[in-house]
């Protein structure tokens, strides 16, 4: 009886760990900013629409955070200090990492193919 209870307790703790850890995966989308999210259409410079990269950079200077946009859904990026975020700001990328709710912890970023 004690072994059964111990096994159930171990299984329950393992299940709770898996749900907290999030889902590892790979996704393709765009590195954007929390100010604009999925669309940079409102950004104009000297009467012309600017690039997504330029808009993302400008919004970051104003205090916005990096986000990842995948199929129109905006995901917050947990590790904002990742060097490749600046490199790929505004670009279409493939990322690997852990997704938990609407927040992703990025492990790797590469230009989308």
The answer as to whether 81 is a domain residue is yes
Residue 88 structural domain: 23-111
Q: How many domains does the chain have?
A: 1
By DSSP bridging, strand 44-45 and strand 66-70 are unpaired
The answer as to whether 37 is a domain residue is yes
Q: How confident is the model at residue 63 (pLDDT cuts 50, 70, 90)?
A: very high
- Separation of alpha carbons 71 and 61, rounded Å: 26
Taking CA atoms, 4 is separated from 1, 8, 17, 34, 111, in Å, by 5, 6, 20, 49, 50
The answer as to whether 6 is a domain residue is no
91-108 pLDDT, tens per residue?
Answer: 999 999 999 999 999 999
At 76, which helix (H) or strand (E)? Answer: strand 73-77
Which of 2-6, 28-32, 99-103, 104-108 shows the lowest per-residue confidence on average (mean pLDDT)?
2-6
Task: CATH number of the domain at 36, please.
Answer: 2.40.50
Average pLDDT over the chain, rounded to an integer: 83
In sequence order, which residues have a C-beta less than 8 Å from that of residue 100 and are 6 or more positions away? 20, 21, 22, 23
pLDDT of 15 over the 70 cut: no
């Amino acid at each position: 009886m004690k072994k059964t209870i111990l096994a159930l307790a171990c299984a329950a703790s393992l299940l709770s760990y898996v749900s907290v850890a999030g889902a590892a995966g790979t996704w393709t989308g765009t590195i954007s900013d929390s100010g604009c999210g999925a669309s940079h259409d409102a950004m104009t410079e000297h009467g012309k629409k600017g690039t997504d990269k330029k808009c993302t950079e400008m919004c970051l200077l104003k205090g916005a955070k990096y986000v990842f946009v995948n199929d129109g859904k905006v995901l917050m990026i947990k590790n904002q200090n990742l060097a490749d975020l600046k490199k790929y700001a505004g670009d279409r990328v493939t990322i690997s990492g852990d997704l938990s709710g609407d927040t992703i912890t990025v492990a790797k970023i590469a230009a989308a193919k």
